[in-house]
Amino acid sequence: MLAIRLPEDLEKRLDSLAKLTGRSKSFYARQAIEQHLDDMEDVYLAEQRLTEIRAGRTQTIPLEEVLKQYGLED
């Protein structure tokens, strides 16, 4: 369980959206947190890969080669 305090303006926006759509404020809070976590995990993974590439521990593959491998070239 998680309890958070929101700034008044954000609380009002969330409350309005919930009333307008008939969904709970918790529903929208969960959606927002999940989306933000997905984005942050993607950023973290990209940063890790970039560090590995710059350190020479990971090789890149040219886009043309990937397209050819999957039969997607023009």
State how many domains the chain has.
1
Q: Is residue 45 part of a domain?
A: yes
Amino acid 34: pLDDT: 98
For residue 25, what are its two tokens? 């404020």
Q: What's this model's pTM, rounded to 2 decimal places?
A: 0.70
Amino acid 62: pLDDT: 94
A 10 A CB-CB count for 27 gives 13
Cα 64 to chain centroid, rounded? 27
Query: Residue 68: which residues within 8 A CB-CB, separation 6 or more?
Result: none
Q: Which domain holds residue 48?
A: 9-69
> Which sign, positive or negative, has the C-alpha torsion 14, 17, 18, 24?
negative
For residue 20, what are its two tokens? 């307008």
Amino acid 1: pLDDT: 87
Q: Is residue 25 part of a domain?
A: yes
Low-confidence ranges of the chain (pLDDT < 70): none
Q: Is residue 74 part of a domain?
A: no
Amino acid 43: pLDDT: 98
Place of tokens 């990971």: 58
